[in-house]
């Protein structure tokens, strides 16, 4: 998903401009904008010790020396310039998008800077994409809170494995075959994925290390494969690639049926080359899976040594943060009052005839594989 129609100048802010100027920052001049992160309930993390709690209201770096070094090497993050870079992005937002209702606290803006390797212009573009995605897909983002997707997690469609891999990356575990079209609308799955990503991106470790996706396609048949269609698939991929500040480092597919060829044919046209290269197909070969995700972090059901799969653990993490998500998502539209041309929304917001023709061809291919 690329937002068009917004002029983001190609320059970079010069650090010495901030050091030399004694004037009050632009953020201080906009007293009506709350720069703080949402209030944190100290008890939110009390029920689970394996996943980090929400960040404190005032930013304080929690990265280990090893991760500070990794962020410097991979993300161009310089600890001594970190907060000055955040201020630079904040001033860009206030100058170029003064009507945008967005969080401006350090911890929030750092997510976007890290996701775009501290390129101010690309970070601002990502932030605009992030908010435009909400406006373009109200059925996903309206009243978005954990209690509204409890049925998705109860069914076992997704969870997060308790232990990160040796590279410190949490593993988002999807099981598409658990969902049937007559259970509930597919968009509920998207809502659950988005809430999970919002929680996963809070810890600074995730912002630096990224995440890994593991998808078990056992039980996926024609009804699941053809239900989303290319239009919906395009919107999901657009959010993950260009509208959310997270780094997806690998997508491991296991137990994919013959029909997966058709499923991937729907998704692949919308994937960037780098992302497409990160898909790893294992079939039913657990040894292949273990070469990419070690047994020590996998549940017993997948030849692992981390105990049985606990579907309730991640559900408890999300439900404990209900109030936090209400503050974040159940508020007025952040783009209300911002005049955006249609071209700023998702490309292909209106399904084209070409998409429909493509879908008909792919559906025929799916039936053939099935």
pLDDT at 296: 97
Map residue 122 onto helix, strand or coil.
Answer: helix
pLDDT at 164: 97
CA 266 – CA 231 distance, rounded (Å):
9
pLDDT at 26: 45
pLDDT at 135: 87
- pTM of this structure: 0.81
pLDDT at 335: 53
What is the largest distance, in Å, between two alpha-carbon atoms of the chain?
A: 69
Which of 95-99's residues contact partners 24+ apart within 8 Å by CB, and which partners?
95/26, 96/7, 96/8, 96/124, 97/124, 97/128, 97/338, 98/30, 99/337, 99/338
What sign has the CA pseudo-torsion 39, 194, 289, 303? Answer: positive
pLDDT at 57: 80
Helices of type H across the chain: 15-20, 26-29, 65-75, 82-96, 106-115, 120-136, 138-141, 150-155, 187-200, 204-209, 222-226, 229-242, 260-267, 273-276, 286-292, 311-319, 322-329, 353-369
pLDDT at 141: 92
pLDDT at 95: 96
pLDDT at 30: 45
C-alpha 307: how far from its chain's center? 27
pLDDT at 55: 78
- Best CA proximity match to 311, nearest among 183, 237, 203, 319: 319
pLDDT at 343: 39
Pairing relationship of beta strands 211-216 and 170-174 according to DSSP bridges: parallel
**Strands laid side by side in the 158-160 sheet:** 158-160, 170-174, 211-216, 248-254, 279-281
pLDDT (tens place) for every residue of the chain, 370 residues total: 444 444 444 444 434 333 333 334 444 444 334 444 555 554 444 445 688 888 788 999 999 999 999 999 999 999 999 999 999 999 999 999 999 989 999 999 999 999 999 999 999 999 999 999 888 889 999 999 999 999 999 999 999 999 999 999 999 999 999 999 999 999 999 999 999 999 999 999 999 999 999 999 999 887 777 666 677 778 888 888 999 999 999 999 999 988 888 778 878 888 999 999 999 999 999 999 999 999 999 999 999 999 999 999 999 999 999 998 988 877 665 555 555 544 344 443 344 444 444 444 544 444 444 4
């Amino acid at each position: 998903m690329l937002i068009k129609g917004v002029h983001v100048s190609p320059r970079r802010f010069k650090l010495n401009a901030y050091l030399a100027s004694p004037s009050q920052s632009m953020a201080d001049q906009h007293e009506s904008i709350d720069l703080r992160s949402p209030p944190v309930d100290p008890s939110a993390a009390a029920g689970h010790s394996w996943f980090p709690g929400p960040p404190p209201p005032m930013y304080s770096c929690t990265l280990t020396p090893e991760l500070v070094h990794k962020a410097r090497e991979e993300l161009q993050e310089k600890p001594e310039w970190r907060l000055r870079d955040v201020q630079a992005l904040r001033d860009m937002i206030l100058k170029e998008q003064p009507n945008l209702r967005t969080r401006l606290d350090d911890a929030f803006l750092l997510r976007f800077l890290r996701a775009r390797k501290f390129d101010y212009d690309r970070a601002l573009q990502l932030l605009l994409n992030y908010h435009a995605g909400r406006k373009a897909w109200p059925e996903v983002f309206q009243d978005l809170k954990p209690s509204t997707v409890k049925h998705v997690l109860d069914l076992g469609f997704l969870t997060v494995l308790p232990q990160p891999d040796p590279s410190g990356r949490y593993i988002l575990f999807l099981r598409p075959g658990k969902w049937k079209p007559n259970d509930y609308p597919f968009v509920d799955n998207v809502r659950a994925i988005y809430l999970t990503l919002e929680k996963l991106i809070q810890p600074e470790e995730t912002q630096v290390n990224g995440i890994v996706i593991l998808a078990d396609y056992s039980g996926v048949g024609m009804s699941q494969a053809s239900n989303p269609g290319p239009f919906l698939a395009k919107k999901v991929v657009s959010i993950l690639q260009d509208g959310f500040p997270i780094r997806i480092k690998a997508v491991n597919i296991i137990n994919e049926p013959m029909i997966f060829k058709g499923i991937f044919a729907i998704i692949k046209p919308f994937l960037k080359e780098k992302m497409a290269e990160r898909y790893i197909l294992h079939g039913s070969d657990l040894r292949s899976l273990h070469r990419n995700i070690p047994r020590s972090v996998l549940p017993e059901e997948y030849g692992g040594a981390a105990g049985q799969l606990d579907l309730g653990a991640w559900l408890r993490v999300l439900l404990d943060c209900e109030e936090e998500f209400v503050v974040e998502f159940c508020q007025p539209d952040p783009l209300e009052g911002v005049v955006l041309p249609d071209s700023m929304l998702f490309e292909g917001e209106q399904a084209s005839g070409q998409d429909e023709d493509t879908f008909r061809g792919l559906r025929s291919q799916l039936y053939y594989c099935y």
